[in-house]
Structure 1
Amino acid sequence: MFFLDTQLAQQIVDRTMAIIGHNINVMNSQGMILGSGDPHRIGSIHEGALLAISQNRTVELNNASAGSLHGVKAGINLPLHYQGEIIGVIGITGEPEHLRAFGQLLKMTAEMIVEQANSIELIQWQNRQQEEFILQLIKGKYNDIEQLEARAKRLNIDLYMPRVAAVIQVQDDNSDTMGNPLLKQVLNLLKNPSRGNLIAMTSMTELVILKPAFLDGKQWNASLESERIDQLLKRIPTEISVQLKIALGHYFPAATDIHHSYQTAKETLRFGMQMQPKQSKYLFEDFALLVMLSGLKQDWRGQQLLTPFSRLIEHDNNQQLRKTLAAYLTHLGDQGACAKQLYIHRNTLRYRLDKISQITGVELNNIDGLLQLYLGQVLLNDPS
């Protein structure tokens, strides 16, 4: 059953009083005045409304009959209905013979306002339920698959549609308790048209999109999805798009593995922003090795893998050796190009490289050693 509240009741009063020049009262199903053109009457019980509710009819009261009831003035009181049930009463203050022409008009107006408010509330409720469901999916926190399927069905979501996760982050400092205005604009653009996307805000500056994975209707194609992201960025106004970072995760065939797709999107975004900060779009395929190995940081294997670079950090206070290593890795061991980038003599470069090998215990002419230092540089978020 729908219940009137003070905010909606006062909205009805304000909008209906704009139609006629008489005071309006709106009472709930218990006869309490929730909204009125006379603020002093709010909160009091209207016995005329109780009569209209109990008899389910329009109650007219002139000055003489109103005097015998508590908290009542002359006027007309009409029951308000929603889906066949009485939810309250709208009352018009004044002599009934002057108000009869307005009664049904105001009743219809009030019931339309109630219908509209309930529709908006229902949509907002559905949006909240869908967002909570999406957050549950990307966190992977569910044990009962049948319960998950039932909830998806209630929300009209095809749980087994192949999907892939993308993450959008807004680089904006204007977030407050009301949210991020830029992110909300992006959210509206993505929902219109929705194209089957499931979208939820994960923070004040970030949202997740669970996108249908088969754009051609047959199979996952990362290149097609990349082109689709480019089209999206073109749709977004430039003043917004320049503040956006979007990352596309990896596609997992099992629908219940969508949380893995989300994790890869998050990691892709992190590595992309770290290594290519000027770019707006990051694809899992471009950072696949780093994303897949990033989980090793908390494992003993990962700690062993990162030990050589950790030693370098410990012995390189001015970051000179790390910057040298970064240039060396960028140029794939080309000492000439590396020395040129660093504006140093090749002998100086060789000295630094020997020192890096001495500290880390890694031979730089060995591909395994170079890979180990490269992973250390990236996974430990080194700013060099």
Structure 2
Amino acid sequence: MEVVKIKIQVVRLNVMILTRSLADNIVQKTKELTALHMNVMDANGIIISSSDHERIGIFHEGAAKAIQNGVDQIITEEIYQKMIGTKPGINMPIRFDDMVIGVIGITGDPDQVQPFGKAVQMMTELMLQQAFLSEQVGNEEKARDFLVQDLIAGQNDRGLDAVIARGQLLGVDLTLPRSAWVIQTENSDKQTETLEIHRSLVRKISNLFPNPRQILCSRVQRNRWVIITEMQPLTDRSRFESISNQIRKLISERMSTKAYLTVGRQVPGADALHVSYKEALTLLKINRLFPENAAVKHFYDLGLELMCAEVNASTRAHIIDRSLGALPDFPDLMETLNAFLNCSLNIASAAKMLCVHRNTLLYRLDRIKEISGNNPRNFDQAAQMHVALLLVRMK
């Protein structure tokens, strides 16, 4: 009997591809459950997976007939001698969306394997449906990831209408005012590298919002996630704080490390979301410079820190030198000045915070004035020193 070897090829019918890896999975699962010898043939009748690896790549004439006629092909001992690439058994069409995309074959005495035929055929088609649904979910998630990447990069070369249309295909209304949220974690050995864990985390984050389908959530770097949401934090402050804290807790527990969350301004159009994202990144820098503050920051919560973050290096050095002089060389006095300013120039409160006597604090304030050339008990000069202290931490 002639055995013909033909190069394996993948044929796409409708939107489902019967690939080698998918066929291998079908053979493995069905053989585990039935202990029968299995073959999977593509739409051209080529064996693309088999429990007998020697048969892979062979043209199976029985499968070709099953595809052509759309019915089961039973191959007896007598028939298989006359057909190319076959062995006794049963070959059944694999259907997807009412189209034959391949064949599943069971090798053995037809009388013995035929009772298993329909069960194997049904199980194979169910596995195809599951694989298709998984692929569709994966494709949508990839489309959402790409959309987030383009939005935060400001890459809208085809115009706002095209971006809105991409959102509509995903069920996301990008005509609504939106803001960019950034979640950042510290470096951690524990990573969410597997696709299923990543998808699960994205779903859990999205489900924290009132309208999960309107949420675009994507992991854009190893330790960074971006959320694009229509939620208005200033309108419902309590809900915003609840959701943001739950997100931080979820990420922190999953990654076993600290998580920061920052929120840029809400912008009227999708074409300005990259601005909101950049603001969230600026807030992230501030958040990590001032860890004693809340680990969630919204653009509208900050003023002075934002202005200081925009100061360039040379101007920053000038302001620090003019306002503090040599004071940074005296850590104890820097701590005293910071406490005094945080207590709104109240001597009693500052002394209590520092756990020192009032006279000790007064002595230190005099020393601060002497070294810096500015009087911390003078409001205008104290304001300048406060800005300088912020700039010191932003070096």
TM over 0.5: yes
- 1:8 matched to which residue of 2? 22
- 2:260 matched to which residue of 1? 245
- Residue 367 of structure 1 deviates from its aligned partner by 5.1
Amino acid at match of 1:157: V
- Residue 173 of structure 1 deviates from its aligned partner by 1.3
- 2:285 matched to which residue of 1? 270
Identity among equivalent pairs (%): 25
Q: Distance in 2 between matches of 1:2 and 1:257?
A: 38
SS of alignment partner, residue 297 of structure 1: coil
- Residue 93 of structure 1 deviates from its aligned partner by 0.3
Amino acid at match of 2:219: M
Q: Distance in 1 between matches of 2:196 and 2:118?
A: 42
SS of alignment partner, residue 179 of structure 2: strand
Structure 1: where are the runs of 5+ without partners? none
- Residue 338 of structure 1 deviates from its aligned partner by 5.0
Contact between 2:91 and 2:106, CA under 8 Å: does it hold in 1?
A: yes
Q: Which residue of 74, 97, 101 corresponds with 1:83?
A: 97
Q: Does 1:192 align with 2:203?
A: no
Q: Deviations over 1:287-321 (max 9, x none)?
A: 23322552x235xxx74255222676988456556
Q: Does 1:162 align with 2:177?
A: yes
- 2:42 matched to which residue of 1? 28
Contact between 2:248 and 2:259, CA under 8 Å: does it hold in 1?
A: no
- 1:308 matched to which residue of 2? 319
Alignment of structure 1 residues 1-384 onto 2, 5 Å: 1-143=15-157, 144-171=159-186, 173-176=188-191, 178=193, 186-192=201-207, 194-196=209-211, 197-214=215-232, 220-221=234-235, 223-229=237-243, 232=246, 236=250, 239=253, 243-277=258-292, 279-294=294-309, 296-298=310-312, 303-304=314-315, 306-309=317-320, 316=328, 319=331, 322-334=334-346, 338=350, 341=354, 346-357=362-373, 364=376, 369-379=381-391, 381-382=393-394
- Residue 258 of structure 1 deviates from its aligned partner by 2.5
Of stretches 155-164 and 230-239 in structure 1, the one that deviates more from structure 2 is: 230-239
SS of alignment partner, residue 169 of structure 1: strand
Contact between 2:320 and 2:391, CA under 8 Å: does it hold in 1?
A: no
Q: Deviations over 1:174-226 (max 9, x none)?
A: 344816999876534223365332211122222222232348xxxx5262444
Q: Number of paired residues? A: 371
Q: Distance in 1 between matches of 2:209 and 2:193?
A: 24
- Residue 120 of structure 1 deviates from its aligned partner by 0.7
- Residue 133 of structure 1 deviates from its aligned partner by 0.7
Of stretches 98-107 and 143-152 in structure 1, the one that deviates more from structure 2 is: 98-107
Contact between 1:170 and 1:183, CA under 8 Å: does it hold in 2?
A: no
Contact between 1:138 and 1:258, CA under 8 Å: does it hold in 2?
A: yes
Amino acid at match of 1:211: T
Q: Deviations over 1:86-131 (max 9, x none)?
A: 3221111012233333333322221111111011110111011012
Of stretches 50-59 and 115-124 in structure 1, the one that deviates more from structure 2 is: 50-59
Contact between 1:331 and 1:337, CA under 8 Å: does it hold in 2?
A: yes
Q: Distance in 1 between matches of 2:316 and 2:248?
A: 41
Q: Deviations over 1:120-154 (max 9, x none)?
A: 11011101101211222222222311221221222
Q: Distance in 2 between matches of 1:307 and 1:152?
A: 48
Distance 1:137 1:165, change over 3 A: same
Q: Distance in 2 between matches of 1:279 and 1:191?
A: 23
Of stretches 344-353 and 237-246 in structure 1, the one that deviates more from structure 2 is: 237-246
- Residue 245 of structure 1 deviates from its aligned partner by 2.9
- Residue 231 of structure 1 deviates from its aligned partner by 7.0
Structure 2: where are the runs of 5+ without partners? 1-14
SS of alignment partner, residue 39 of structure 2: strand
Q: Distance in 2 between matches of 1:377 and 1:141?
A: 38
Distance 1:16 1:323, change over 3 A: same
SS of alignment partner, residue 50 of structure 1: helix
Contact between 2:182 and 2:226, CA under 8 Å: does it hold in 1?
A: yes
SS of alignment partner, residue 18 of structure 2: coil
